[in-house]
Amino acid sequence: MKKEGKILIVDDDEDILTAGKLLLKRHFSQVSTCNVPEHIPRFINDQHFDAIILDMNFGPGESSGAQGFYWLQRILEIKPESVIIMITAHGGVNVAVEAMKLGATDFIAKPWQNEKVIATVSTAVLLGRSRSETQKLRETNKVLVQASNPASQQNMLGQSQAMQQIQSLIARSAPTEANVMILGENGTGKELVAREIHQQSARAQQVFMSVDLGAISETLFESELFGHKKGSFTGAQQDRVGRLQAADGGTLFLDELGNLPLHLQAKLLTVLEQRKVTPLGANKAIAFNVRVVSATNLSKETLKDEQHFRQDLLFRLNTVEINLPPLRERSSDITLLASHYVDFYAKKYQQQGKGVKQLSDDALAAISSYSWPGNIRELRHAIERAMILSQSEMLTSGDFQLDVPSHVKPSQSASTSKHKVITNQFETTSAEIMLPEELNLEQIEKNAIALALKKHRFNISHTAKELGLTRAALYRRMEKHGL
């Protein structure tokens, strides 16, 4: 059975090209040949090759290897991730070793042994596919960063003393290689702080890899973070690069760290201490170089409880600790944040006739006095909902529906009305929760999501788990229902 793999053989000897192609095409899906080295740029620009087999000498009488060195460097200039195997004459091992110092992966000595050629090329193809996947992940990550949500694109907003202290901590810690742990309630902007640390660090041009540990099941934890080899478990149909390896050279952001069970905390600690990761099904550990920024909504007291969190892992991760205050403790920033989101959603919904709007004095008073249990995330959603539903140019307190007391109960006569107000032991959100007597499915779904959000204090991972949804699916439904 042929393996997946695209090979390019470059040699001016037609006999070598023919023999190589006949040998390799029985084992790999595609084998291309090139007998003129000047054509190499066209070949590698037109398509991707998992491995390139390159002769050291071209033309009669050439034996110095200079041409091979030249084309090795040219290939790596065009595609730095290329995996290149050099062909050298018997006794030219020293030349081949020099080529490997310049970036070649391995070498084949002529006359070759078929079994050794197959083994060498097979290893090179696996490396090439791994590098290709890593490169794709890095490119995808850059696109995701550029196209991410408004909260991750904006600069740190806030003029309160608390936020000035946070910004000072970021400025002092970001240029270092110290691991940073960010503490704070859900919705306070922990990922935004992590991205700011990355942007102010020496790794700013490298990958920022965000991993939501709350959304990864225990059974997939090692596969997601460490990677796996094809066939290492049921469903592993191809090799996969883990997040740690994909983030090599950049910043790894471990979100929802508090959701990680103790036995997985131990595995994470081992990998971070050794700075090496062994993919599932592999025999060789792979070194990686990442800076770790983590975040959790657990309190300091819970983190110091060995029943909940390993203390050795805590010491590894919280070289610098940043505590983000909840929005209710930085109320002087609410007006600034609200104005920012009003401007943002005015531009976003301009085509739908929801142009420039302003916040009235009573709206400012209402949002400034509200406790915002969901913090900045809840404020952002409330602004968006108000912008969509408001029919005037001025947003008033009524557009936010923030002052419905939690103890209000329906009157006796309300039992005959179309809707009944549900009350419960949780805090009131920014809108009443209504149960329609006609059991409209859309309304029931909205109510269920709102109740779950309140129950878990806007913890998206816990809410999604209770509702049987992914985080992405929950976000889509929240946007759909204006929650």
CATH of the domain at 119: 3.40.50.2300
pLDDT band at 438 (very low <50, low <70, confident <90, very high): low
Predicted structure pTM score:
0.57
Question: What's the average model confidence in pLDDT over 288-296?
Answer: 95
Q: Are residues 108 and 216 in the same domain?
A: no
CATH of the domain at 349: 1.10.8.60
| 338-366 pLDDT per residue, tens | 999 999 998 888 877 766 788 999 999 99
pLDDT at 420: 36
Q: Which amino acid is at 51?
A: A
| 175-212 pLDDT per residue, tens | 999 999 999 999 999 999 999 999 999 999 888 999 99
DSSP 280: B
| 407-425 pLDDT per residue, tens | 333 333 333 333 333 333 3
**245-248 contact pairs (CB < 8 A, 24+):** 245/130, 245/134, 245/277, 245/279, 245/286, 245/288, 246/133, 246/134, 246/137, 246/138, 246/141, 246/207, 246/209, 247/207, 247/209, 247/288, 247/290, 248/134, 248/207, 248/288, 248/289, 248/290
Q: Are residues 11 and 107 in the same domain?
A: yes
Are 232 and 277 contacting, i.e. CB atoms less than 8 angstroms apart? no
Q: Are residues 73 and 107 in the same domain?
A: yes
Look up the domain containing 455 and give its range.
Answer: 412-481
Domain C-terminal end among 399, 428, 457 = 399
Q: Are residues 380 and 472 in the same domain?
A: no
Q: Is residue 107 part of a domain?
A: yes
Whole-number percent of the chain with pLDDT over 90: 43
Q: Is the pLDDT of residue 53 over 90?
A: yes
Angle formed at CA 157 by CA 480 and CA 187, multiple of 5 degrees: 45
Instruction: Give 227's strand partners.
Output: 241
Q: Which amino acid is at 66?
A: A
Q: Is residue 404 part of a domain?
A: no
Q: Is the pLDDT of residue 401 over 80?
A: no
CATH of the domain at 416: 1.10.10
pLDDT at 426: 37
185 burial (CB, 10 Å; 0-12 / 13-18 / 19+) is buried
